Amino acid sequence: MRKEILMKILIINGSPYKENSTTLKITRAFMEGLNETAEIVHTIDLEINPCRACYACWVKTNGKCVQNDEAIAVLNKIREADLVIWSIPLYCYSAPSHCKALMDRTVCFNSAEMYLGDDECTHHYGYEDGSKKTVLISSGGLPDVKGNFDGLVFQLKRMFGENTATILCAEAGLFLSPETEPLTLPYLEAAKKAGTEYKATGLISKDTQMILDVPMIPTDMYIANVNATFSAMKEKN
């Protein structure tokens, strides 16, 4: 009987709420579909220096960062992983600063040498070729996906390839109340299905991607609910 080869999966959790992260809830649904185990790194717990743009990793050390901090161990884990899942809440249309610092440090995975791609944009040789399987799962408190996650998606795809799979959930606030479970549970089921599909094909199907990308409630309704919630919070203070 052929023995199944387990994947070595690393989840980088960029939420300061750690295990209570809404984004991580979606990530766990995806993992359930993968039917695999994973190591989770919480970036909020790590002392990570910003990238210094010293270029030592490009010209001196063959891709090894010369800084001596807790990012080094995570960078090594990324190298060793078969699949890296970035579980990142959307903060100011990007990643939380402690996670963004780690993202910037992944510049060591690509080389200084550039080339002009078929898209007429410059690219670097390295993980940008898609050789490191990568998934981005992100959520934010916004009414829809369009235009809100572009910066985060752009950076991950430029660092780890255009084939980086994405699950982008704009209406993260809906996961905070049991009353909205009729909306959020089907979304989590779709995230689980995405995991099953990704394990089988390395892709999320168009049908499942459409479910994940479409708002759970109408935009105007979400905006009204959010505005009312924050108005009530202001009155209490």
Residue 79 C-beta-side C-alpha neighbours within 13 Å = 16
Residue type, 18: K
pLDDT at 237: 79
Q: Mean pLDDT throughout 6-10?
A: 90
- Asked if 191 and 165 count as a contact pair (C-beta separation under 8 A), the reply is no
Quick check: is 4 in a domain? no
pLDDT 10s digits, 152-183: 999 999 999 999 999 999 999 999 889 999 99
- What does DSSP say about strands 165-169 and 122-126: parallel, antiparallel, or unpaired? unpaired
- DSSP code at position 4: P
pLDDT at 146 over 60: yes
Q: Total structural domains in the chain?
A: 1
Q: Please tell me the distance from the alpha carbon of residue 22 to that of residue 30, in angstroms, as a whole number.
A: 13
Task: Return the CATH number at 81.
Answer: 3.40.50.360
pLDDT at 36: 96
**Residue 177 corresponds to which tokens in the numbers above?**
């109340």
Q: What is the CA radius of gyration of the chain?
A: 19
Q: Residue 121 is part of which domain span?
A: 9-236
Residue type, 120: E
pLDDT at 236: 86
Quick check: is 32 in a domain? yes
Quick check: is 130 in a domain? yes
